[in-house]
């Protein structure tokens, strides 16, 4: 079974809800899903997965500290071992959303392969946003299975 890792950080629950919707979409598409916060996730999680979703709230137009902590800790232990691994970014924000660019910029440094545009959500994900996030999870599951 292909493995999808969802790593996120969330202060007030919006990004957590987004991460859970991605996880549900990936599970529904047949993947085995690991859902962790940035502070829980370990470099090994990134090495072991077949595709990864990286999510954060927008914090001053950058990703939140929890996701940055994970990426900082994971960089050297995974260097050269995650090139072309499929990934997608997701962000909840208060009207900005530039944090998506910071995630995509670091993903490039890891040489991960972007499989879909970042999903940007204003506030708490509901309605169409949940549908979009579930679809992103399904896309990650499909990419993980290749
Ligand atoms: C310290 C801090 C800085 C923020 N900076 C931005 C920002 O620059 N742009 C923006 O659109 N939203 C900003 N926000 C709003 C959050 O990104 C938004 O409310 C998000 O959905 C919160 O996600 P969470 O519930 O997962 O913590 C900021 C929130 C906090 C707490």
Question: What are the tens digits of pLDDT across the range 41-50?
Answer: 999 999 999 9
Identify the CATH number of the domain defined by range 3-145: 3.40.50.360
Residue 85 clears pLDDT 90, i.e. is over it = yes
CA 82–ligand 1 middle distance (angstroms) = 29
CA 132–ligand 1 middle distance (angstroms) = 20
Tell me which residue of 61, 59, 54, 68 sits closest to 18, measured CA to CA: 54
Residue 21 CA to residue 77 CA, distance in Å, equals 29
CA 94–ligand 1 middle distance (angstroms) = 6
User: Residue 121: CB within 6 Å of ligand 1?
Assistant: no
Distance of CA 25 to CAs 28, 85, 88, 101, Å? Answer: 5, 19, 13, 23
Q: Write down the pTM of the prediction.
A: 0.98
Phi, psi of 51 (to 5 degrees): -160, 155
Q: Indicate which residue's Cα is closest to atom 27 of ligand 1.
A: 11
* Centroid of chain to Cα 72: 15
Token duo for residue 125: 């994900």
- Quick check: 137 and 1 in contact, CB under 8 A? no
Distance of CA 84 to CAs 51, 65, 74, 130, 133, Å? Answer: 10, 25, 16, 27, 22
Over residues 5-12, mean pLDDT: 98
């Amino acid at each position: 079974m292909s493995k999808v890792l969802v790593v996120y950080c969330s202060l007030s629950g919006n990004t957590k809800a987004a991460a859970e919707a991605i996880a549900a979409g990936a599970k529904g598409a047949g993947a085995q899903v690991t859902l962790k916060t940035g502070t829980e996730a370990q470099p090994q999680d990134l090495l072991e997965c077949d595709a990864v979703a990286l999510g954060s709230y927008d914090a001053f137009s950058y990703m939140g500290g929890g996701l940055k902590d994970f990426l900082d800790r994971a960089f050297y232990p995974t260097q050269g071992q995650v090139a072309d691994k499929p990934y997608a970014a997701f962000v909840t924000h208060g009207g900005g959303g530039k944090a998506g660019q910071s995630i995509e910029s670091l993903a490039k440094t890891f040489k991960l392969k972007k499989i879909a545009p970042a999903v940007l959500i204003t506030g708490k994900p509901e309605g169409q946003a949940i549908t979009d996030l579930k679809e992103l999870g399904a896309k990650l599951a499909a990419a993980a299975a290749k």
